Amino acid sequence: MNIVCLGGGPAGLYFGISMKLRDPQHTITVYERNRPGDTFGWGVVFSDQTVDNLIANDPDSGEWIKDEFIHWDKIDCFLNGEVERSDGHGFIGLGRKKMLQLLHKRCEELGVKLVFEREFEAENLTTQFPEADLIVAADGLNSKIRNADLDIFECTVDVRPNKFVWLGTKQKFEDAFTFIFEETEKGWIWAHCYQFDNETSTFIVECNPDVYDAYGFEEMSHAESAETCRKIFENYLG
Ligand SMILES: Cc1cc2nc3c(=O)[nH]c(=O)nc-3n(C[C@H](O)[C@H](O)[C@H](O)COP(=O)(O)OP(=O)(O)OC[C@H]3O[C@@H](n4cnc5c(N)ncnc54)[C@H](O)[C@@H]3O)c2cc1C
């Protein structure tokens, strides 16, 4: 079968790997608008069970991913400076960019063709990709292909109100996955923090729309909003 994957995020790449493993005769091409090293974002986390599933599906890439991961079992939950620690949650963290690089490498090894810097449109897919027996839409959360016809994909979209920003920090949070809840004069705001390599942690800051408006985050530049978050959580950031 001639298979075209539209979108070279984790879903498109991993689908390509999985199909090739099941039948190496398939011709599989993944189309992606970005360049190979362009990816956004800091670290991602997976549960131990997820890693087991990856290893069961493809031991090679599963083991590479496992080797790159930072592992922890504990969760610390700070509420206005007081910590509650719980144990027994197996989790691992890895840089999103590193994960995509490993998946690129595995695709190349198995003969999945990667085409970067190619934008596709949601319309006339069969004209854009006449060679395809199967087209897989893997174009992410804001999928143009899915959004072009939500009914045909039987898709419902439920947008939640909270706002978040995905930041990174050199503070390591190496003992535990850490949640920090702070009650500020403008209301509650909280951070999800986890290490993903030897030097860096993800630091996601989240709040509800009232607090977001009270801080004026919408009008701030990226640097100003990062600095505002740094001040709110400075006791934890070293
Ligand atoms: C702050 C944050 C933290 C997260 N943390 C985690 C985590 O810890 N663990 C976890 O498992 N998940 C996490 N996620 C979710 C994870 O990022 C997504 O589930 C995952 O990226 C989805 O993969 P995907 O391949 O479906 O989509 P994407 O990663 O969005 O990939 C889609 C790809 O398609 C390409 N594309 C889209 N449209 C076009 C077009 N028209 N032409 C060409 N290319 C196109 C995009 O450039 C992109 O590379 C997090 C997400 C966020 C926002």
CA distance 104 to 17: 9
Least confident range from 37-51, 117-131, 150-164, 187-201: namely: 37-51
Q: What is the DSSP letter of 62?
A: H
Do the domain assignments include residue 158? no
Say if residue 8 is in the same domain as residue 103: yes
Do the domain assignments include residue 155? no
Please give the angle made by the CA atoms of 79, 83 and 86, to the nearest 5 degrees: 115
pLDDT level of residue 175 (50, 70, 90 thresholds): confident
Three-state DSSP state, 37: coil
Say if residue 137 is in the same domain as residue 171: no
Tell me which residue has its CA closest to atom 16 in ligand 1.
44
Q: What share of the chain is helix, strand, coil (3-state, %, to 5)?
A: 35, 30, 35
Q: Domain range spanning residue 211?
A: 163-237
CA distance 70 to 68: 7
Say if residue 20 is in the same domain as residue 136: yes
CATH number of the domain enclosing 40 = 3.50.50.60
Three-state DSSP state, 221: coil
Three-state DSSP state, 122: coil
Which of 139, 144, 192, 195 should be mutated for ligand 1, with most atoms under 8 A from CB? 139
Say if residue 19 is in the same domain as residue 86: yes
Do the domain assignments include residue 156? no
Parallel, antiparallel or unpaired: strands 2-6 and 134-137: parallel
10 CA closest ligand 1 atom index: 25
Say if residue 59 is in the same domain as residue 130: yes
Residue that finishes a domain, picked among 87, 118, 148: 148
CA distance 84 to 76: 6
Tokens of 200: 């860096």
Buried b or exposed e, range 18-55, using 16+ CB within 10 angstroms: ebbeeeeebebbbbbeeeeeebeebbbbbeeeebeebe
Ligand 1 midpoint to CA 10 (Å): 7
Say if residue 134 is in the same domain as residue 167: no
Please count the structural domains in the chain. Answer: 2
Ligand 1 midpoint to CA 67 (Å): 22
Closest CA to 193 of 117, 120, 105, 91: 91
Ligand 1 midpoint to CA 90 (Å): 23
Q: What pLDDT is attached to residue 67? A: 83
Say if residue 33 is in the same domain as residue 76: yes
CA distance 143 to 38: 19
Ligand 1 midpoint to CA 140 (Å): 5
Say if residue 50 is in the same domain as residue 85: yes
* Entry pTM: 0.91
Instruction: Tell me how far CA of residue 126 lies from CA of 123, 135, 136, 213, in angstroms.
Output: 9, 8, 12, 44
Residue that finishes a domain, picked among 113, 148, 183: 148
Do the domain assignments include residue 138? yes
CA distance 96 to 196: 9
Do the domain assignments include residue 11? yes
Amino acid at 92: I
45 CA closest ligand 1 atom index: 8
Do the domain assignments include residue 186? yes
Ligand 1 binding pocket (C-beta < 6 A) is 7-12, 32-34, 44-46, 119-120, 138-141, 144, 166, 204
CA distance 145 to 237: 41
Residue that finishes a domain, picked among 148, 183, 210: 148
pLDDT in tens, 3-59: 999 999 999 999 999 999 999 999 999 999 999 988 778 888 889 999 999 999 999
Parallel, antiparallel or unpaired: strands 43-47 and 91-95: antiparallel
Which of 6, 35, 44 should be mutated for ligand 1, with most atoms under 8 A from CB? 44
Whether 157 has a pLDDT exceeding 80, the answer reads: yes
**H-helix or E-strand spanning residue 162:** none
Say if residue 78 is in the same domain as residue 40: yes
Do the domain assignments include residue 26? yes
Instruction: Output the furthest CA–CA distance in the chain (Å, rounded).
Output: 62
Tell me which residue has its CA closest to atom 7 in ligand 1.
44
pLDDT in tens, 93-142: 898 999 999 999 999 999 999 999 999 999 999 999 999 999 999 999 99
Which of 33, 70, 202 should be mutated for ligand 1, with most atoms under 8 A from CB? 33
Which of 31, 141, 145 should be mutated for ligand 1, with most atoms under 8 A from CB? 141
CATH number of the domain enclosing 209 = 3.30.9.20
Do the domain assignments include residue 174? yes
CA distance 43 to 195: 8
Ligand 1 midpoint to CA 14 (Å): 12
Three-state DSSP state, 161: coil
